């Protein structure tokens, strides 16, 4: 069953999305990986894991498919959001194959997990962040280092001839 929102909740979501302070209403950046935290309320087991966009992962009897992960640019107010589809296949009863049931489908936001939360008696899932792949992170760090000439201003090792003369020692 997909959780339906009442009119005041829909109005609140629309107002937040249209407000100038909402980071995702402005230009946002797509990321290939979402970082999630899950909780099994029966065993109190928590797990932090990463999932690729477009992939389905399993936690207990729950399946989570990540459709998108977007994050505000670095200079904007920090916000990460992911579009998740979550369903469960309950245990089969009487030898019949159980039909999958929707639990949640929508955007979850890292800064406001209660705004659009998954409603399930056993499992909880939260979005923590959107991430780049390791290769993208390494490439970005190399580009920043290259753009700065390998050394940031005020940092690094200087050749002796480039260093200013040492101050005289007071006696």
* Residue 155 counted as domain residue: no
* Residue 163 counted as domain residue: no
Whole-structure pTM value: 0.64
* Residue 24 counted as domain residue: yes
Report the pLDDT averaged over residues 4-30: 53
pLDDT category of residue 163 using cuts at 50, 70 and 90: low
Range picked from 20-24, 42-46, 96-100 for highest mean pLDDT: 42-46
pLDDT digits (tens, 9 = 90+) for 38-97: 999 999 999 998 999 999 998 888 899 999 999 998 888 889 999 999 999 877 776 677
* Residue 133 counted as domain residue: yes
Number of domains in the chain: 1
Radius of gyration of the chain (CA): 24
pLDDT digits (tens, 9 = 90+) for 106-117: 999 998 888 888
Range(s) of the domain holding residue 128:
7-147
Tokens 């389905």 map to which residue? 56
* Residue 139 counted as domain residue: yes
* Residue 162 counted as domain residue: no
* Residue 157 counted as domain residue: no
DSSP at 27: -
pLDDT top residue among 122 and 138: 122
* Residue 103 counted as domain residue: yes
**Closest of 126, 140, 131 to residue 31, by C-alpha:** 131
Helices (H), the chain: 7-18, 134-147
DSSP at 119: -
Q: How far apart are alpha carbons 91 and 52 in whole angstroms? A: 27
pLDDT category of residue 128 using cuts at 50, 70 and 90: very high
* Dihedral over alpha carbons 121, 127, 132, 137 (to 10 degrees): -120
3-class DSSP string for 135-154: HHHHHHHHHHHHHCCCCCCC
How far apart are the two ends of the chain, measured CA to CA in Å? Answer: 83
Q: How far apart are alpha carbons 1 and 167 in whole angstroms? A: 75
- Tell me: pLDDT of 19 over 60: no
């Amino acid at each position: 069953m997909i959780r339906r929102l009442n009119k005041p909740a829909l109005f609140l979501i629309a107002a937040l999305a249209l407000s100038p302070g909402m980071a995702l209403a402005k230009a946002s950046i797509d990321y290939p990986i979402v970082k999630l935290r899950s909780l099994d309320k029966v065993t109190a087991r928590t797990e932090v894991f990463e999932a690729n966009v477009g992939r389905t992962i399993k936690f207990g009897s729950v399946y989570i498919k990540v459709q998108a992960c977007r994050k505000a640019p670095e200079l904007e107010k920090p916000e990460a959001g992911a579009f998740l589809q979550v369903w469960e296949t309950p245990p089969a009863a009487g030898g019949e194959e159980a039909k999958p049931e929707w639990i949640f489908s929508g955007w979850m936001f890292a800064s406001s997990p209660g705004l659009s939360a998954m409603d399930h008696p056993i499992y909880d899932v939260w979005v923590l962040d959107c991430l780049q792949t390791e290769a993208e992170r390494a490439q970005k760090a190399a580009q920043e280092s290259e753009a700065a000439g390998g050394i940031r201003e005020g940092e690094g090792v200087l050749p002796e001839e480039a260093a200013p003369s040492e101050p005289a020692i007071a006696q």
